[in-house]
Amino acid sequence: MDNRPIGFFDSGIGGVTSIPYIMKMLPEERIIFYGDTARTPYGSKSPDTIQAFSMQIADFLVKKNVKMIVIACNTVSSVAVPKLREKYPDIPIIGCITPTAKEVSKIVKKDANIGIIATRGTVNAGVYQKRIEEMRTDVNVFSKACPALVPLIEEGIIEHEIMDMTVKYYLDDFIKENNIGTLVLGCTHYPLIKKSINKLYPGLEIFSSSKEVAKAVEMELTQREMMAEKKEGKDEFYASDLSETFVALIEKILGQEKETLQIGFEDLDI
Ligand code: DGL
């Protein structure tokens, strides 16, 4: 039993999409979330920069006495997990790619055509493809970087024709040419546009890294006997740019008014 909070972070707002799953699965866990909204998106930045930013955020979470760090960002998960584990060997660090790849590999049928959509950084790192192909040699994996989606989501342009057009711009040919039947939302921002994707491509089987990372947290806490017995205090949400959009998206994702949440600015000495 361990009542300390769990630390989550993302390059921006997207990682918050995994929090409702945690709240439902593990209601006694307290959450400290950090979104690096001043420096988002990470998806087009170099691995060195992403690693350096991630170290700063992990330092902040460790000072908050978290019992576990959850990288609720695929881009960071694809390039920074080994470095973070090296720096903090005593803190469990969970990324979102391996749990998602495992779940997909467990469920898809032979000869399935799996599409991974993600940021440029995640696609270039090729970790999804590698993990799935390590577990399944009888499926085909295709990846597509969709760099314009994160800025639109961060701007709150979500249920809108501009979003539908952007999704079509990236996915129409990708899905048709590769005969994709299974789509992995390899970016924690994308669950926010799942409705658009469902509407445009109703037959797709969709996996979300936000959900899979939450399931991995539950499993890890259970195995290590680190579940919280009682939630002590409020969840905390920090951002390096405390914009109105950040606050509005948190309210939308969590379905709670900002007055009920503890939201703060933290610049990590940037
Ligand atoms: N949420 C991040 C991810 O899962 C991407 C956002 C960004 O490009 O910073 O990859």
Q: Helix crossing, 97-107 with 209-223: angle to 10°?
A: 100
* Average pLDDT value for residue range 122-150: 96
Unique residue bearing structure tokens 């969840």: 235
Is-contact 270 39, C-beta < 8 A? yes
What pLDDT score was predicted for residue 155? 83
Q: In what order do the strands lie in the sheet with 205-208?
A: 140-145, 113-118, 182-185, 205-208
Question: From CA 75, how far away is CA 93, in angstroms rounded?
Answer: 15
Q: Which helix (H) or strand (E) holds 225?
A: none
Q: Measured from the CB, is residue 189 less than 6 Å from ligand 1?
A: yes
What pLDDT score was predicted for residue 22? 95
Q: Whose CA is nearest to atom 2 of ligand 1?
A: 73
Question: From CA 251, how far away is CA 233, in angstroms rounded?
Answer: 19
Phi, psi of 207 (to 5 degrees): -110, 145
Active-site pick, 73, 197, 221, 254: 73
39 pLDDT band, cuts 50/70/90, is: very high
What pLDDT score was predicted for residue 266? 83
% of the chain exceeding 70 in pLDDT: 99
Quick check: 204 pLDDT over 90? yes
What pLDDT score was predicted for residue 119? 94
Q: Measured from the CB, is residue 73 less than 6 Å from ligand 1?
A: yes
| 237: β partners | 33, 263
Quick check: 44 pLDDT over 90? no
97 Cβ partners below 8 Å, 6+ apart?
A: 74, 77, 78, 122, 127, 128, 131, 186, 209
Is 146 annotated in the active site? no
Cα angle, residue 176 at apex, residues 200 and 165 outer, rounded to 5°: 40
Could you tell me where the beta strands, DSSP code E, fall in 40-118?
A: 68-71, 93-94, 113-118
Q: Which pTM does this prediction carry?
A: 0.93
Q: Measured from the CB, is residue 45 less than 6 Å from ligand 1?
A: no
What are the tens digits of pLDDT across the range 58-106?
999 999 999 999 999 999 999 999 999 999 999 999 999 999 999 999 9
What value does the CA radius of gyration of the chain take, rounded to a whole number of Å?
18
Separation of CA 76 and ligand 1 centre (Å): 8
Which one of 187, 207, 249, 253 would you pick to mutate in the ligand 1 pocket, going by the greatest count of ligand atoms within 8 A of its CB?
A: 187
Separation of CA 43 and ligand 1 centre (Å): 6
Q: Measured from the CB, is residue 13 less than 6 Å from ligand 1?
A: no
Is 96 annotated in the active site? no
267 pLDDT band, cuts 50/70/90, is: confident
Question: From CA 147, how far away is CA 119, in angstroms rounded?
Answer: 5
Q: Whose CA is nearest to atom 6 of ligand 1?
A: 41
Q: Measured from the CB, is residue 78 less than 6 Å from ligand 1?
A: no
- 14 Cα nearest atom in ligand 1: 1
Average pLDDT of the chain?
94
% of the chain exceeding 90 in pLDDT: 84
What pLDDT score was predicted for residue 122? 95
Sign of CA dihedral 52, 58, 64, 70: positive
What pLDDT score was predicted for residue 268? 79
What pLDDT score was predicted for residue 92? 98
What pLDDT score was predicted for residue 47? 94
270 pLDDT band, cuts 50/70/90, is: low
Q: Measured from the CB, is residue 18 less than 6 Å from ligand 1?
A: no
Q: Measured from the CB, is residue 188 less than 6 Å from ligand 1?
A: yes
Count of CA atoms in the C-beta half-sphere (13 A) of 116: 31
What are the tens digits of pLDDT across the range 244-257?
888 988 998 898 88
- 36 Cα nearest atom in ligand 1: 9
